[in-house]
Structure 1
Amino acid sequence: MNTLYKTITALTLLLCSSLPLLAQSTGFNEMVWHDEFEGEGAPDPTYWSYDLGTGQGGWGNNEVQSYTNNSSNVRRSGGKLVIEANKTNGAWTSARIKTQGKYNFTYGRVEFRAKLPKGAGTWPALWMLGESITTKGWPACGEIDVMEHVGRDPGKIHGTLHTPSSYGNTVNTNSTTVSDYGDSFHVYAAEWTPEAIKFYVDNNLFYTYAPVNKDAATWPFNDPQFIIINLAMGGNWGSDTRYETNGLKNGIDPTLNTARFEVDYVRVYQTFSELKLTGPASVNPGAQNLTFKASNVTGATYTWTIPNGATITSGAGTSEIKVNWGTTAGQVKVQMNLNGQTYQQELNVNTTKTPVGDAFLIEDFNTLPATKLNSSGGTFDFSHENSALKVSYQVTNPNSLPQIIYTLTEPLNMSGYPVLAATIKTRNESKNVLLRIDLVDETGKTTGTNNVFTLTPLIDDNEFYTYHFDYKNLYGTGSGQIDGTKVKKIRILVNYGILGSAGNDVFWIDQFKVLQNTPTVPNRPSHLKLTKSTNSVTLNWQDNASNEESIRIFRSQSQNGPFTEIASVVANAREYTDAVIPENGYVYKVQSVNSNGTSTFSNLVASNAGLLSIKQEYDNQQVRVYPNPCTGDFNIQLNYTLNVKDIRFYNAFGKEVAANITQDTTNLLRIKTDVAPGLYFCHLHTQESIIIKRILII
């Protein structure tokens, strides 16, 4: 399709065959791309976009039509692409579709099966342009016109090249005759190699372009080209001089009000090199009409093997099958025989997990899922502690995106369960813990927009807190969106990016769940603290709920209960005073309440630290014992401000032994002992816990 009009008088060196010959088309035997225009409606947007309007100077050719994307001008109908030019109130509209930016190829055979419009003034074209048109411009990008026809010269089919050495009214062209061009479908094709471009109608060769000297001027055909289909009206070449008025290129038969151009298919073939197999990597149990495709090679035979419970519904023995899946994962195999050689490929297909009930548990970390965990961007140590995953980390460069990847056993369909519930705890001793949770789908796409699951505010009262985030708006095909039906990984970013800080700390993950909706019960209070006076205990807490109706206060004389509700305070209250003598020993916890239910309990606090459970943290890097082993004297370094109330020293049998303890600085304790060699335990009592460190004396 001539994009500009210019008469060239200089001839280029070329080899041209003007006599129709049978094609010797044996090299391009694998169909690598095609559109059969099945279905109804607009052309498939995966493949096609539109040129709209009149372009510059009637698309450079003084054409009279305006291109639209209206269904009256372009549509799929009855398994065909229909481009219809229509005259309304004397003005013509038509359509031009293209694969620019969606599909292109270098070398191969492209063929169109088409029926052309009739009528003087029509100018249909099946052609290609170099993708480099946006950088090099035309004609430097090269143009291959597989088929052009002008209605004023019925049945004369042209194959044409436009290059910097010859363009517009180019000399690189030839033609053949197809008498029933407008009544029957014919196959128009071009075969493109590094040596030549050959043009065919119904596999009859009618033109070969093969310049002796191939350079940028004569051969801009070593780079990808995209496909164009259009129907122009009038213009420099399409206009019929008998009907032109006012010197314009508007010569169209005045009795013509519509012109119909139909394309049955477009196919691209290249030379087979290796067997490929494509299809879904994961499917829903019982999924219907799944498509699996092998390389479509002319002359090959195919044998398919599918898992038990699956059924081939169509295509057995061909390169493409439709399958109704069963309930289990399995392997799809294809064997291809070609010219006495056998090729084979396999595709592992997982079944997706579809949640049931109000909530679905992904992982409870009752055991350490070591094979499901990977990390990068920092130093991460995974261990199992009290039925939770303990993560100890060291980050030196937050910009390296320190992260943990948890890989699900099978893809999870979260489309109906978009809320992720993550139960996590930390003491945030570094005061710099920063966590964010993303989902990754089967293709590797990761959630991420301005709205992400950041654990804010971070609850760092050393008790598990459940954070919720609804990913529903992050399901889709846009930037930062994923396929919510096939979630494969959970990514946890740790102290990352410009807000992250270098350092080390610890956090625990108790479980991941998915829910249908964000819970309506209130979040639990946190950071419960206690201050004592002579005759009372005052409790303070952080209120994390905006939908509570009241807060209940519970008290016991043991951390194991029983707990009794002693008071209820109004919503948003953050303090309560209990008139008791602290030395009598009490343990407290609080809870938020609304009409939908109650939150989990806050952390515990006690008027006597001995009432709380012992937190055995032998590997806590924030409390360091050295030297260890030692000969009896050792130091305890506290790397943060820890309010230590009492220190006790025990042997391996649990008997307390004497030790001389002095505090050298705020964060350094010196311990001197005179005991026999063996394993000993140093208990550091804080207001909320007892931290135990092991010491080996030699």
Structure 2
Amino acid sequence: MKILYKGLTALMLLCLALPALSQSTGFNELVWQDEFEGEGVPDPTYWSYDLGTGQGGWGNNEVQTYTNQSSNVRRSGGKLVIEANKNNGAWTSTRIKTQGKYNFTYGRVEFRAKLPKGSGTWPALWMLGESITTKGWPASGEIDVMEHVGRDPGKVHGTLHTPSSYGNTVNTNSTIVSDYGDSFHVYAAEWTPDAIKFYVDNNLFYTYAPVNKDAATWPFNDPQFIIINLAMGGNWGSDPKFETNGQKNGIDPALTTARFEVDYVRVYQTFQELKLNGPTIVAPNSQNLGFKASQVTGATYTWEVPSGATIISGAGTSEVKVNWGETAGKVKVQMSLNGQVYSKEIQVNISQNPTGEAFIIEDFSSLPTAKLTSSGGTFNFSQADGALKVHYQVTDPTALPQIVYTLTEPLNMSGYPVLAATIKTKNESGSVVLRLDLKDTAGKTTATNNVFTLTPLIDDGEFFTYYFDYSSLFGSGNGQIDGTKVKQIRMLVDYGVLGSAGSDSLWIDHFQVFQSIPAVPRRPSHLSLTKTSASVTLTWQDNATNEESFKILRATSQAGPFTEIASVAANTKTYTDAVSPESGYLYRVTASNTNGTSEFSNTVTSTGSVLGIKDEFDSDKITAYPNPNTGQFNILLSEPLRIIQTHFFNSLGKEVTASISQPYPTVLQVKTSAAPGLYFCRLHTPDGIIIKRIQII
């Protein structure tokens, strides 16, 4: 089946037609196949379409229009059906091809097919060089495995087209298949660097093997793709006795439909190396998993699966089906061939499948050192009161400073596309800029204009939960990932054009996934307090759009209990409590709606700042001595630090009076008349806040 003129000139052949022989045994590994199982359109992974009438009836004056409609092409009953139909005097049919999807160089290609009957039909099973788009035809080479014209019933042709034949039908031979339209037969071509041989039912009927192989006689050293089509009429298919007006439209007028069926297409090559394919990540208790080894003629196979997994079919063959258990393990295959034994194995890991309304990925109750890596800056990790503390220093934000958290097992987020990150920072350097990306097991990273940037950044010194729905980033497009196989969470820190050289600290309490963004409001933040002689006024930042009210809570100590004293309307951001500031009350605010109540805001007190519950305790940068003491002690700094502010608090978070001086670059002197008890000395530096426990006796 040509894309240009196909002549019937009877010229001397450049090759020799040999007597019928059996199939060569050199090609023993099945490397590609389409069995056309299932129903509906041909598998788009393998096949695309030529549509319309091409140029000059596809270069052959063919009369049909090619479509991709189900009336012309479909899978049905385990067969590919291509059906040419005549409607209102016009013919439609189909041509499918693997161009750009599958091609090969050297091997055996075979088609099991039943051909259409009727004068004017022209079915073909053939191949074209993938270089057709660059070299053109016939320089790309063409291998016609099987062609048949209905006006010459049962005469099946095998043909080559090369530049030396100028596209004419010169390199060809034929054989008779008397029941071509009633029974399926196997049409095959075997292609080596030396020759191309044509078979019907493993009977050789033609060999092409030019003595001098060059670009003109042998354009067959490059990949070729597969084509299946049914043409009507045309330069070769037309029956002269039915032609009208000098056109190549000779089709039996009684013919209104013609059916071409293909049972399978298979490609074999010479076995080189044992291969094993199958899923490397599975859900616990997955059923009917397929594992496929190289399918080699004459080989025997032995399989092993881990404890808890069961082979349910295919034992002893090249392909097995397995019901998995609940643990990871290896699938192994051993293949014996001609006295040689080959082995292959793949590791199969278990994916995490979230359950419930929410699923915690990591709570950082301990330091997951093996799961954390960093680059682009200096990052120090530590565990602080059930959270991951990160201290960073970045000199070049364009180097994409980042922390990568690698999950123990891949996570299936397809039904839980919302990632929640609970993070705290004071952002005293002004350099805290954060973004979270996901990476799958194939190494693809979410990276589009729609990204999880933590804005507005809540930097009131308490934990805030940020949410992002990744569902639009699950897929196979640019910037999308496989949401069923999420392997890493990447946090960009102080990065890109938004970043600035600096250092600071942040804390990560946990990563969690949800089915959808929770409908509970997000907590208020940046709660602050001003006071008069007879009242205190609270002001906060509203971070929700769905609150229905704010609740004001008050306590006499940081340990609580916090009791609701008032409720104010949505979008209100201030409240005045008519109490004396000397009462020492502590305050918090929450947002509320019918779905629930948010987490607490940060805490403030009328008598001073309150110690954050997860500040940097007992840093190794400072040493207090003597400690315990009677109210007079020194703080030794491990290096000269610029102290911006110093504060002294009791265990309830109330600031107490202390005299603090820095007579030397590395020493602070502290004096206080505070009563015996536990205290905290809080030092503000450009890099963050350092807190030291002090025991006064």
- The letter of the residue matching 2:276 is L
For the 8 Å contact 1:405–1:489, the answer to whether it is kept is: yes
- Residue 47 of structure 2 is aligned to residue 42 of structure 1: no
TM-score (normalizing by structure 2):
0.88
Q: Relative to structure 1, is the Cα distance of residues 255 and 401 closer, same or farther in structure 2, using a 3 angstrom cutoff?
A: farther
What corresponds to 2:5 in structure 1? 5
- Residue 64 of structure 2 is aligned to residue 86 of structure 1: no
How big is the shift at 1:501?
4.1
- The letter of the residue matching 1:39 is G
- Partners of 1:187 and 1:359 in 2: how far apart? 56
How big is the shift at 1:624?
14
| Structure 1: runs of 5 or more not aligned | 649-655, 664-668, 676-680
Q: Relative to structure 1, is the Cα distance of residues 395 and 205 closer, same or farther in structure 2, using a 3 angstrom cutoff?
A: farther
For the 8 Å contact 1:624–1:636, the answer to whether it is kept is: no
**Structure 1 segment 187-266 matched on structure 2, within 5 A:** 187-266=186-265
- Residue 194 of structure 2 is aligned to residue 177 of structure 1: no
Matched length: 668
What corresponds to 1:661 in structure 2? 662
Secondary structure of the residue aligned to 1:236 is helix
| Structure 2: runs of 5 or more not aligned | 625-633, 650-656, 672-678
**Structure 1 segment 490-639 matched on structure 2, within 5 A:** 490-609=489-608, 611-613=610-612, 615-616=615-616, 635-637=640-642
- Partners of 1:452 and 1:546 in 2: how far apart? 20
Secondary structure of the residue aligned to 2:355 is coil
- Partners of 1:457 and 1:500 in 2: how far apart? 15
- Partners of 1:661 and 1:504 in 2: how far apart? 24
- The letter of the residue matching 2:4 is L
- Partners of 1:500 and 1:43 in 2: how far apart? 51
How big is the shift at 1:228?
0.8
Q: Relative to structure 1, is the Cα distance of residues 634 and 25 closer, same or farther in structure 2, using a 3 angstrom cutoff?
A: closer
Which deviates more from structure 2 when the two are superposed, residues 188-197 or residues 115-124? 188-197
How big is the shift at 1:407?
2.3
How big is the shift at 1:443?
3.4
- Partners of 1:23 and 1:693 in 2: how far apart? 89
Q: Relative to structure 1, is the Cα distance of residues 632 and 434 closer, same or farther in structure 2, using a 3 angstrom cutoff?
A: closer
Q: Relative to structure 1, is the Cα distance of residues 109 and 480 closer, same or farther in structure 2, using a 3 angstrom cutoff?
A: same
For the 8 Å contact 2:646–2:681, the answer to whether it is kept is: no
- Residue 370 of structure 2 is aligned to residue 371 of structure 1: yes
- Partners of 2:245 and 2:294 in 1: how far apart? 55
- Partners of 1:327 and 1:612 in 2: how far apart? 46
Q: Relative to structure 1, is the Cα distance of residues 89 and 304 closer, same or farther in structure 2, using a 3 angstrom cutoff?
A: same
For the 8 Å contact 2:146–2:156, the answer to whether it is kept is: yes
- The letter of the residue matching 1:2 is K
- The letter of the residue matching 2:104 is F
- Could you report, residue by residue, the CA deviation over 1:45-67 in whole angstroms, capped at 9, with x for unpaired residues? 11111111111211111110011
Which deviates more from structure 2 when the two are superposed, residues 100-109 or residues 498-507? 498-507
- Could you report, residue by residue, the CA deviation over 1:8-67 in whole angstroms, capped at 9, with x for unpaired residues? 99989x851213331461221111110011111111111111111111211111110011
What corresponds to 1:666 in structure 2? none
- Partners of 2:94 and 2:637 in 1: how far apart? 91
For the 8 Å contact 1:632–1:673, the answer to whether it is kept is: no
Secondary structure of the residue aligned to 2:165 is coil
What corresponds to 1:154 in structure 2? 153
For the 8 Å contact 1:633–1:673, the answer to whether it is kept is: no
- Partners of 1:165 and 1:482 in 2: how far apart? 49
Q: Relative to structure 1, is the Cα distance of residues 119 and 441 closer, same or farther in structure 2, using a 3 angstrom cutoff?
A: same
- Partners of 1:620 and 1:568 in 2: how far apart? 44
- Partners of 1:520 and 1:632 in 2: how far apart? 47
What corresponds to 1:105 in structure 2? 104
Secondary structure of the residue aligned to 1:69 is coil
How big is the shift at 1:618?
6.0
- Partners of 1:552 and 1:81 in 2: how far apart? 68
Secondary structure of the residue aligned to 2:60 is helix
**Structure 1 segment 257-296 matched on structure 2, within 5 A:** 257-296=256-295
- Partners of 1:396 and 1:510 in 2: how far apart? 26
Which deviates more from structure 2 when the two are superposed, residues 143-152 or residues 196-205? 196-205
For the 8 Å contact 2:51–2:67, the answer to whether it is kept is: yes
For the 8 Å contact 1:47–1:99, the answer to whether it is kept is: yes
Which deviates more from structure 2 when the two are superposed, residues 152-161 or residues 538-547? 152-161
For the 8 Å contact 2:242–2:249, the answer to whether it is kept is: yes
- Partners of 1:112 and 1:11 in 2: how far apart? 29
TM-score (normalizing by structure 1):
0.88
For the 8 Å contact 2:394–2:494, the answer to whether it is kept is: yes
Which deviates more from structure 2 when the two are superposed, residues 550-559 or residues 289-298? 550-559
- The letter of the residue matching 1:636 is L
For the 8 Å contact 2:6–2:60, the answer to whether it is kept is: no
What corresponds to 2:653 in structure 1? none
- The letter of the residue matching 2:437 is D
- Residue 454 of structure 2 is aligned to residue 455 of structure 1: yes
Secondary structure of the residue aligned to 1:59 is helix
- Residue 321 of structure 2 is aligned to residue 316 of structure 1: no
For the 8 Å contact 1:109–1:191, the answer to whether it is kept is: yes
How big is the shift at 1:295?
0.5
Which deviates more from structure 2 when the two are superposed, residues 306-315 or residues 389-398? 389-398
Q: Relative to structure 1, is the Cα distance of residues 91 and 475 closer, same or farther in structure 2, using a 3 angstrom cutoff?
A: same
For the 8 Å contact 1:124–1:149, the answer to whether it is kept is: yes
For the 8 Å contact 1:20–1:176, the answer to whether it is kept is: no
- Partners of 1:555 and 1:217 in 2: how far apart? 92
Percent identity between matched residues is 73
For the 8 Å contact 1:6–1:167, the answer to whether it is kept is: no
For the 8 Å contact 1:82–1:260, the answer to whether it is kept is: yes
